[in-house]
A and B are shown apart, each in its own frame.
Chain A
């Protein structure tokens, strides 16, 4: 706290707001500058993309400052419609998400220049890439700053539309165009639901400003309707199952640094929207909402990770893993809703902090992994895991940073993913305090799902790392991979260091995040850092404690002592001291060739067999005429057949019926118009 008191007199919320404004202006500037990229392609690499890094820095500074000061500042802009000016508000919640956006954008700013260089000689439009990247960031920044539904929706649509153009960036491939269209469609259905949710609230608040919506006396039933609409709308953007179908199609096809922004940051903006509307604006929380969120979160987590496990395309795998991580975030949010509805504010705050912590962590490690996937794509032109292998020796730094990302996302101590999972479990373990027996027994089941998910994530990412970075190269172009420029490594390195830091020093981070639940829920986690920065004690030291710094210290200390002791003290004789290299033994069979290695497909085979019922799997082995055999495997999402295709068919058949109105006769059209007008007038009067 001494830092806060030191900074408060000199730095205030106004400074934070100015920094946030600066970030928005810089993002727009980056977008405008990119217009010149048609004439001078270097503009994108030298000016527009580094500007994104500055946007990130400004947003990060604004966010951290807002969290440190912990107050609220609002301002009304002379923009928008005459009777609907735009309201801006910067509070702890916005500040936290500004920081999440900022930190990933910083890394993208470091990484991007070398990555976009590859496009300078291609056919793709650099103006589109730079212009829409800037607009995309502007949209995300404005969403978290908006203080009225009008500006929120404008910014939301700006974010959705500009990211559509980024998804469609490589539009020469038909499947990319299809992915982009699906994304556009679902983003708009989602946007419509959010609009309706605001509409329900505005009907009782008589205004679109969040201040009035917050104070609106909404009856319980209508609050439930608004919650359902908001959950569906934001859930669609967050990629929750079963509304996830667009995500694994759209995220992988964008350029990698944009994929990092979409998966790492844009999904978090959806989480922000959900928290803003459900926790802050609606306010009167029912336990049923918590149960629904918990159930959908569990479904997304488990289905997401199993789908990720089945993939062989690296970027697609990462996209499915985002579905899983958003599931974990919503499990924590669901726990928070359940505790809040039963008036356990402190436990609600614990689960809420766990959700926010996981938001931040996911932004960091998923950003890192997408940047790593981009570096592999840059160095080998390959996205298919089954063609990779042995990259750790060709790209040692990328390999090291990717390993940090893998360990973090697998929730292994002492990295950051572990801390948020630990907090979520701690919240779930307080379920015994609830009065309702149903809730008491639902929460353990949710925590079992979370545990299974965590373990399966480890399988998924052992597969990714083992197949891509270890072993021997499975194709020629992967054998000749090049290391990649320093800028790209710096971007990944920044995120990797943060992944470790957030795992080792959770007490500081929670001290910073704590301002958010204190503002939104009215209670924080005063206990979390009560025993100094060394100990994380979310409830009380008797209940649970974790010391990240000491775990790291002991792991490193014992490991290095063992290494030094065995290699330098024990193995003194020259004969045993040096490690000799030879061929692999492999049970004494023929020297192993790269083709004998397990592939990503074969690695996942046992899991595919155990959980195969959840997917539509077509597998066949056929013998060709020349005697060779071919293995075919096709895995499809069951939700396509269960949900999407029926809806698509219904839309098509109803469209065919509506077509009958189209006779081509103007008089009939005028008749319809008149009938509609009369009908509307009748409804109004």
Chain B
């Protein structure tokens, strides 16, 4: 525990968490840019998400007559919980004190906390759309969460630790070993990430078509700074899942010390990896159409099955060997 509690470690952890909220809109901007290019459009500038957030923050916030105080508290809780969850995922370097405070199970728990408050806020207004969004979001979440846990448990059992820093450390020191369990877990986690961040084919973040929206339906009544926080939290969640996938399964380049060189290399590596991942996501979103809601369970069951297969292939094939 001692090495976690050094001052410089906390400093880097704070820097890293600030980097998360600073980079999150950029990832969305990049994703939109690539998608626009694939659709033969020029698309908005990379910085457009920042401008949107600024615009929302500068606007007046309105809430409905019918809401309770929970509606106004929810954006802060959702944003904080998502940010805190993101802070536990190593972005530039491993060995963070935040990873010791909260391991991967806590990470999943914090994301669930954010989801619960998002759904409750959706139901608080007392409109049909809010309830609809909440009901669908909870369905997707209920099926995605076990798949996510099984995927991270595969990693945790391999590394004999639920601490994300240790998991990445273990993977790095192991060298490049092609483990079947990792492939299954990667597949499961990618599917979960798509569902949880509300991307096509499970949900469409740009739709406001009444009967198809899930995430947007819950945000319908938000405006001004409340909406900005909710949007920012959604962007953070995308960055969180992206970082989780690239840094855990492809950890090369991540810094193992606290020197400026290691930090710089880590930043360059993670930005490059995320750019590639986001481009792949954009291609996927361009070629796929959104599914009907009741096909989403099949999609998520596949994710759960893949993750469980990963875990089983680990305990059966890899533990004894």
| B-binding residues in A (CB < 8 A) | 389-390, 392-393, 399, 403, 407, 410-413, 418, 422, 425-426, 429, 431-432, 437, 440-441, 444-445, 447-448, 451-452, 454-456, 458-459, 462-463, 465-467, 469-472, 531, 535, 537, 541-547, 550-551, 554-555, 558-559, 562-563, 566-567, 570-571, 575-576, 578-587, 592, 594, 596-598, 602-607, 609-610
Rounded to whole Å, the gap between the CB of A269 and the closest CB of chain B is 30
Q: Does B150 contact A (CB under 8 A)?
A: yes
| A-binding residues in B (CB < 8 A) | 1, 57-66, 68-70, 72, 76-77, 79-81, 83-84, 100-103, 105-106, 109-110, 112-113, 115-116, 119-120, 122-132, 134-136, 138-139, 141-146, 149-150, 153, 156-157, 160-163, 166, 208, 210, 220-221, 224-225, 229, 293-294, 297, 304, 308, 311-312, 315-316, 319-320
Q: A583 vs B64: C-alpha distance in the bound complex, in angstroms? A: 5
- Cβ contact within 8 Å between B161 and A551: no
- Cβ contact within 8 Å between B65 and A389: no
Closest 4 CB pairs of A and B: A598-B131, A466-B123, A471-B126, A451-B146
Q: Is the interface of B mostly helix, strand, loop or mixed?
A: helix
Q: A456 vs B77: C-alpha distance in the bound complex, in angstroms? A: 21
Which partner residue on chain A sits nearest B109 by CB separation?
A413
Q: A425 vs B161: C-alpha distance in the bound complex, in angstroms? A: 12
- Cβ contact within 8 Å between A448 and B129: no
Q: A22 vs B106: C-alpha distance in the bound complex, in angstroms? A: 42
Interface residue from B69, B132, B150, B315 paired with A440 (Cβ < 8 Å): B315
Interface residue from B64, B103, B162, B308 paired with A581 (Cβ < 8 Å): B64
- Cβ contact within 8 Å between A546 and B68: no
Rounded to whole Å, the gap between the CB of A317 and the closest CB of chain B is 15
- Cβ contact within 8 Å between B101 and A547: yes
Which partner residue on chain B sits nearest A439 by CB separation?
B315
Number of A-B contacts (CB under 8 A): 279
Instruction: Tell me which residues across on chain A come within 8 A of B157, comparing CB atoms.
Output: 429, 431-432
Instruction: Tell me which residues across on chain A come within 8 A of B145, comparing CB atoms.
Output: 451-452, 454-455
Interface residue from B81, B136, B293 paired with A555 (Cβ < 8 Å): B81
Instruction: Tell me which residues across on chain A come within 8 A of B113, comparing CB atoms.
Output: 407, 412-413
- Cβ contact within 8 Å between A471 and B124: yes
Rounded to whole Å, the gap between the CB of B213 and the closest CB of chain A is 10
Rounded to whole Å, the gap between the CB of A569 and the closest CB of chain B is 11
Q: A603 vs B130: C-alpha distance in the bound complex, in angstroms? A: 11
- Cβ contact within 8 Å between B70 and A392: yes
Rounded to whole Å, the gap between the CB of B147 and the closest CB of chain A is 8
- Cβ contact within 8 Å between B120 and A542: no
Instruction: Tell me which residues across on chain B come within 8 A of A603, comparing CB atoms.
Output: 131, 134-135
- Cβ contact within 8 Å between A542 and B166: yes
- Cβ contact within 8 Å between B142 and A607: yes
Which partner residue on chain A sits nearest B142 by CB separation?
A455
Q: A407 vs B120: C-alpha distance in the bound complex, in angstroms? A: 12
Instruction: Tell me which residues across on chain A come within 8 A of B68, comparing CB atoms.
Output: 390, 392-393, 399, 469-470
Interface residue from A467, A566, A579 paired with B57 (Cβ < 8 Å): A566
- Cβ contact within 8 Å between B316 and A412: no
Rounded to whole Å, the gap between the CB of B116 and the closest CB of chain A is 6
Instruction: Tell me which residues across on chain A come within 8 A of B106, comparing CB atoms.
Output: 413, 418, 422, 546, 551
Instruction: Tell me which residues across on chain B come within 8 A of A466, comparing CB atoms.
Output: 119-120, 122-124, 131, 134
Instruction: Tell me which residues across on chain A come within 8 A of B59, comparing CB atoms.
Output: 576
Instruction: Tell me which residues across on chain B come within 8 A of A606, comparing CB atoms.
Output: 135-136, 139, 293-294
Q: A413 vs B311: C-alpha distance in the bound complex, in angstroms? A: 25
- Cβ contact within 8 Å between B119 and A462: yes
- Cβ contact within 8 Å between A467 and B101: no
Interface residue from B102, B139, B311 paired with A444 (Cβ < 8 Å): B311
- Cβ contact within 8 Å between A566 and B210: no
Q: Assuming A462-B116, A465-B120, is B66 touching A584 (CB within 8 A)?
A: yes
Which partner residue on chain A sits nearest B100 by CB separation?
A545
Instruction: Tell me which residues across on chain B come within 8 A of A582, comparing CB atoms.
Output: 62-65
Interface residue from B70, B72, B112, B316 paired with A470 (Cβ < 8 Å): B70
Interface residue from A392, A425, A592 paired with B128 (Cβ < 8 Å): A592
Rounded to whole Å, the gap between the CB of B74 and the closest CB of chain A is 10
Q: A309 vs B253: C-alpha distance in the bound complex, in angstroms? A: 46
Q: A289 vs B119: C-alpha distance in the bound complex, in angstroms? A: 41
Instruction: Tell me which residues across on chain B come within 8 A of A580, comparing CB atoms.
Output: 60-63
Show 21 A/B contacts (Cβ-Cβ < 8 Å), sorted by A.
A407-B116, A418-B109, A432-B157, A451-B146, A451-B149, A452-B146, A458-B142, A459-B139, A466-B122, A470-B70, A470-B126, A471-B123, A542-B161, A542-B163, A559-B76, A566-B229, A580-B63, A597-B127, A598-B130, A602-B135, A606-B294
Q: A559 vs B74: C-alpha distance in the bound complex, in angstroms? A: 10
